[in-house]
Amino acid sequence: MSLKSTFADVIERYSQAQKRLVLGLSGGLDSRVMLELMAEYCHNRQLECLAIHVHHGLSANADQWAMQCQHWCDSLGVPLVIERVQLDSKGRSLEESAREARYQAIARHLNDDDLLLTGQHCDDQLETFLLALKRGSGPKGLSAMAHAMPFASSLIVRPLLTSTRQQIEEYARQHQLSWVEDESNLDQRFDRNFIRHTISPPLIERWPQIYQSVQRTAELCAEQEALLDELLADKFTSVHCSDGSLDITKLATYSDAVRSRLIRMWLAGQDVRMPSREQLKLIWPQVACAQQDANPQLVIIDGQVRRYAGRLYLVKQWQSLANWKQAIELEQTCQLPDSLGSLSLRSAANGQLSKQALSNGKLEVIFEPQGLTAHPVGRGHSRKLKKLFQEYDIPSWLRRRTPILICDQQVVAVGDLFIDRHFAGQDCELIWDKPLLFM
């Protein structure tokens, strides 16, 4: 089957009527050929398309690559967005940091049900499989890359996953296409490049059918993973709490193998990178089963696994909000930082706040409780917010992520926990539209 037919067959398998095709365009051989295929496909079918080039700034040639991508897109009539990103490694490899920044940049330009096209092919699949094997991955890692997978509100599709690098290069030469060569692809200090240039060639020469064998194995592993999740779905529901935590008492009723899998399923749904096998083994004995008076935590790549009130929580790495503040007025909504939702002050016939009391000073929203005191309605006296958070059973890691409404430095209300008695009334209410973590 020709490359053009392969591309069309895969797109038609996953595309919804009149939805956009969006291409991650690096300018390398694979994405350059994909640009040509996408432009022709969309032109023939009157479909909208978009190309996105992410400028990482890692190469002295990065500006030239962006200009070249612009030239190709202009000649084909394909709109192009150039996104410039800065990498933040946070203990990750350069390759991993670049990939994460790239996908975050691309996600900003995706609409619901777009197809995001990426140029991976048979040789990439072989490399990914061998990397997983080198790391000692289980079936999940050996599933390698799927033809399609959800991403944001869209779908990542790899139309050329069953085509070889040689077939793609032959197409490019037949159509006299030029492309950019990333010099870093020759650096064999990177594991993927070492596999590409040193390991894969003799394997392919000895066993030409290894492409198909790897693809079949990857698909079988993916099927087994999906089946396991399906069979454990009811058990997972039984231990998964409404706030996103896991019930330790219920987890304890299952075997080690089932419990380990349920914890893995939990982490897989948290949008974090999966911890190592060694770290996963420590979650149950060191966090869940630590002494009752302990405050156990296990640091993983993207945060911490912690225990509180008989549950396991994933605490992600958050930005400090100690210096964040924003003014707010009646009938106004304040958007909170770091995905913490919004806070609104609204008139209400059966509210708990007094408009009159609120009108006596400047209203602001902050997150830093240090040094503040409050006198909750129904309490006999005022207390430090630190003590009140303890009494209201708020986990320690959420105490500086709970919005505090103040009026001229006096506490009016803390999230949806309590109202200070000096601001109590009946004609106004504070509404916190908060994320799942606080439910």
Tell me, yes or no, whether 53 and 177 share the same domain.
Answer: yes
Total number of domains in the chain:
3
Q: Is residue 51 part of a domain?
A: yes
Q: Is residue 238 part of a domain?
A: no
- Neighbour-count burial of 300, counting CB atoms closer than 10 A to its CB (0-12 exposed, 13-18 middle, 19+ buried): buried
Tell me, yes or no, whether 120 and 49 share the same domain.
Answer: yes
- Helices 3-14 and 29-45 pack at an angle, to 10 degrees, of 70
Query: Do the annotations mark residue 260 as ligand-binding?
Result: no
Mean pLDDT score of the chain, rounded to an integer?
A: 90
Query: Do the annotations mark residue 30 as ligand-binding?
Result: yes
- Neighbour-count burial of 210, counting CB atoms closer than 10 A to its CB (0-12 exposed, 13-18 middle, 19+ buried): middle
pLDDT in the model for residue 419: 93
Tell me, yes or no, whether 297 and 345 share the same domain.
Answer: no
Q: If you search the block for the tokens 């203990």, which residue do you land on?
A: 91
Ranges in the chain, pLDDT < 50: 439
pLDDT tens per residue, range 236-279: 999 999 888 999 999 999 999 999 999 999 998 887 778 888 88
Q: Is residue 40 part of a domain?
A: yes
Q: Is residue 236 part of a domain?
A: no
Joined tokens for residue 34:
């994909």
Query: Do the annotations mark residue 31 as ligand-binding?
Result: yes
Tell me, yes or no, whether 151 and 46 share the same domain.
Answer: yes
CATH code at position 310: 1.20.59.20
- Neighbour-count burial of 326, counting CB atoms closer than 10 A to its CB (0-12 exposed, 13-18 middle, 19+ buried): middle
Tell me, yes or no, whether 180 and 297 share the same domain.
Answer: no
Tell me, yes or no, whether 312 and 355 share the same domain.
Answer: no
With contact defined as beta carbons under 8 Å apart, do 133 and 126 qualify? no
Query: Do the annotations mark residue 29 as ligand-binding?
Result: yes
Tell me, yes or no, whether 175 and 308 share the same domain.
Answer: no
pLDDT in the model for residue 437: 60
Tell me, yes or no, whether 201 and 104 share the same domain.
Answer: yes
pLDDT in the model for residue 89: 60
Tell me, yes or no, whether 352 and 292 share the same domain.
Answer: no
Tell me, yes or no, whether 95 and 205 share the same domain.
Answer: yes
Q: Which string of b and e fits 155-173 if b means at least 16 CB within 10 Å?
A: bbbbbbbbbbbebbeebbe
Tell me, yes or no, whether 155 and 294 share the same domain.
Answer: no
Among 267, 299, 316, where does a domain finish? 316
Residues 262, 265, 270, 276: what is their CA dihedral angle, to the nearest 10 degrees? Answer: 90
Among 284, 316, 348, where does a domain finish? 316
Domain that holds residue 274: 244-316
- H or E element at residue 261: helix 256-268
Query: Do the annotations mark residue 119 as ligand-binding?
Result: no
CATH code at position 38: 3.40.50.620
**Three-state SS across 163-215?**
CCHHHHHHHHHHCCCCCCCCHHHHCCCCHHHHHHHHHHHHHHHHCCCHHHHHH
pLDDT in the model for residue 378: 87
pLDDT in the model for residue 19: 83
Query: Do the annotations mark residue 77 as ligand-binding?
Result: no
Q: Is residue 234 part of a domain?
A: no
Cα separation, 9 vs 341, in Å, equals 42
Q: Is residue 26 part of a domain?
A: yes
pLDDT tens per residue, range 89-135: 665 666 777 777 888 889 888 988 899 999 999 999 999 999 999 88
Tell me, yes or no, whether 208 and 284 share the same domain.
Answer: no
Q: What is the DSSP string of 5-16?
A: HHHHHHHHHHPP
Nearest CA-CA partner of 306 in 286, 276, 279? 286
